[in-house]
Amino acid sequence: MPRLSRRSFLAASALFATARSGFAAKPAGETADVFVIGAGAAGIAAARRLAAANLNVLVFEAQDRIGGRCTTDTASFGVPFDVGAHWIHGQGNPLIAGGSGDGLYAGPRWPGVRIGPRAARDSELEVFLAAEVRAQRALRETPRGRIDTAAQALLPRDLGTWKSSIEFLLGPYALSKDLSEVSIADLARQAERYAESFAPQGYGALLARRAAGLKVRTSTPINKIAWARGTVLESKESLWYPRGAVILTCSTNSLTKQDIEFDPPLPKRIRDAAEQLALGSLDHIALDMPGNPLGLQKDDFIIEQSSGPRTAALLANVSGTSLHVVTVGGAFGRELSGRGERAMIDFAVQWLDTLFSTSVKRRIRKSRATRWNAQKYVYGAMSVATPGHAEARRALMEPFGRVWLAGEALHETKWGTVEGAWESGVRAAEEAIRVVARDKPREEKSKRRRR
């Protein structure tokens, strides 16, 4: 009786999994050493590393575009509009290494502040900045041995009239969640962000350039994965049999909403960790207003002295264009987004009218609001650990079967960032490379025995 090679055995196991898992009868699609699901930063990084190791890799992307939560839209306004990530953290960022980020320029270091319809005076700004620095220090210098609690509990109690503004900047705007929902241990572990900059062509455009040469099938969602006895993927048209491994880069919210059916079901540790790392809410309301009606400079970053959570931030004249982007986040941003794009635009107009004592609506040529919470396969902005669950990220790093997860949620110090997603993709690819390399000697040995 002829001996089965390792690859033949895996193929037979996959066929068994196909029958056992109740997959519909479909033709087999193209095979590859490794399949990558998702063409965001993690998926692109993984595919590039696998290709560099001379492995055959195929990327599946459910959307009709690449980039995930880092995508640049040039159709809506005729100029680049980053619908997701826009601020580029420069130190060690792999996306801008080797000249890939040519044309970058420094972003604003401090926000401008409005108090009612006027700009804050220098003395008022000094008080605000001092209060913000104290708040940031309090959230970074967590005492050892302290129980992992909500970040809100560690804020100084003497922030005065700047309390709501600082809570917005450090919570909803920076993290996409209110500080009452953020694990202080997770936040304290997050790497500080320096040398922030902007790309005039858009951050998403930089990422898209890094996907050049990769084999990506867009508009191809994977609906089902069998992973226990061999690995099989199912899309609408085909069944796919990887020779080596699968790297899955969907968001934590996509995992919990079960966009992909798993057979057997996901391990409990994966499901629990995904729930504890649920995405927050952060959306952009873009207004094209020619003629600079607010009288602001290129990339002026503006917040207000707010009295509660119903507030926002403005990035004006983005990269020298007439595009103005109002950003909302946290619980208020989620509630506003849930009311639809029209309500979001109305809020932005009213908010700007109040701050600048001008009629903004008649100056708007075009508008668009993102609604990431309603975006299928994403459902939010960035992963944030709930109080008491800072260790959930490590649980996601352990593979199940031959499936590895990757994405910003799997980086312990750069979570919530594009570069964190990228680095997690590289790490998952390294694991997949080891699996394929381990299998090859066994296959060669089986071939020699058959001769």
297-308 pLDDT per residue, tens: 999 999 999 999
pLDDT of residue 246: 98
Question: How far is Cα 203 from Cα 48, in angstroms, rounded to an integer?
Answer: 18
Whether residues 194 and 290 share a domain: the answer is: yes
3-state secondary structure of 9: helix
Q: Which CATH number fits the domain that encloses residue 154?
A: 3.90.660.10
3-state secondary structure of 21: coil
209-263 pLDDT per residue, tens: 999 999 999 999 999 999 998 899 999 999 999 999 999 999 999 999 989 999 9
State the residue for tokens 């996901």: 266
Instruction: Identify residue 314 by its one-letter amino acid code.
Output: L
Question: How far is Cα 9 from Cα 26, in angstroms, rounded to an integer?
Answer: 21
Whether residues 192 and 292 share a domain: the answer is: yes
Complete DSSP assignment for 390-447: TTHHHHHTS-BTTEEE-SGGG-SSSTTSHHHHHHHHHHHHHHHHHHHHHHHHHHHHHH
Whether residues 177 and 297 share a domain: the answer is: yes
Task: Decide if 1 is inside a domain.
Answer: no
Backbone angles phi, psi at 121, to 5 degrees: -75, 165
Other Cβ atoms closer than 10 A to 414: 20
| Domain enclosing residue 355, as ranges | 101-198+280-374
Task: Decide if 186 is inside a domain.
Answer: yes
Question: How far is Cα 193 from Cα 216, in angstroms, rounded to an integer?
Answer: 31
pLDDT of residue 389: 95
Whether residues 174 and 317 share a domain: the answer is: yes
Kindly provide the b/e burial profile for residues 1-13, where b requires at least 16 CB atoms within 10 angstroms of the residue's own CB. Answer: eeeebbbeebbeb
Task: Decide if 89 is inside a domain.
Answer: no
Residue closest to 309 by CA, chosen among 428, 171, 174, 199 = 171
Whether residues 180 and 239 share a domain: the answer is: no
3-state secondary structure of 267: coil
Residue closest to 206 by CA, chosen among 88, 48, 381, 320 = 88
Question: At a CB cut-off of 8 Å and minimum separation 6, what does 383 contact?
Answer: 251, 252, 277, 278, 279, 393, 407, 408, 409, 415, 416
Task: Decide if 206 is inside a domain.
Answer: no
Whether residues 261 and 134 share a domain: the answer is: no
Task: Decide if 88 is inside a domain.
Answer: no
Is the Cβ–Cβ distance between 336 and 343 less than 8 Å? yes
The two three-digit tokens of residue 261, written as one number: 């059916």
Task: Decide if 265 is inside a domain.
Answer: yes
Whether residues 113 and 252 share a domain: the answer is: no
Question: At a CB cut-off of 8 Å and minimum separation 6, what does 56 contact?
Answer: 31, 32, 33, 34, 243
Q: What value does the CA radius of gyration of the chain take, rounded to a whole number of Å?
A: 24
Backbone angles phi, psi at 149, to 5 degrees: -125, -175
Whether residues 322 and 353 share a domain: the answer is: yes
Whether residues 181 and 317 share a domain: the answer is: yes
- Rounded to 5°, the CA angle 247-72-212 comes to 50
Task: Decide if 338 is inside a domain.
Answer: yes
Instruction: Indicate the number of domains in the chain.
Output: 2
Q: Which CATH number fits the domain that encloses residue 254?
A: 3.50.50.60
Kindly provide the b/e burial profile for residues 125-135, where b requires at least 16 CB atoms within 10 angstroms of the residue's own CB. Answer: beebeebbeeb
pLDDT of residue 18: 52
Sign of CA dihedral 314, 316, 318, 323: positive
Instruction: Identify residue 25 by its one-letter amino acid code.
Output: A
C-alpha distances in angstroms, 309 versus 96, 98, 109, 171, 173?
A: 35, 41, 23, 10, 11
pTM of the model: 0.91
Whether residues 260 and 319 share a domain: the answer is: no
pLDDT of residue 6: 43
Task: Decide if 222 is inside a domain.
Answer: yes
Question: How far is Cα 409 from Cα 415, in angstroms, rounded to an integer?
Answer: 5
pLDDT of residue 363: 96
Q: Please identify every stretch of the chain with a pLDDT value under 70, giving residue numbers as ranges.
A: 1-22, 24, 91, 97-101, 142-145, 194-195, 441-451
Q: Among 374, 400, 431, which residue terminates a domain?
A: 374
Whether residues 296 and 187 share a domain: the answer is: yes
3-state helix, strand, coil in the chain (%, to 5): 40, 15, 45
Q: Among 374, 397, 432, which residue terminates a domain?
A: 374
Whether residues 188 and 164 share a domain: the answer is: yes
Q: Among 374, 408, 434, which residue terminates a domain?
A: 374
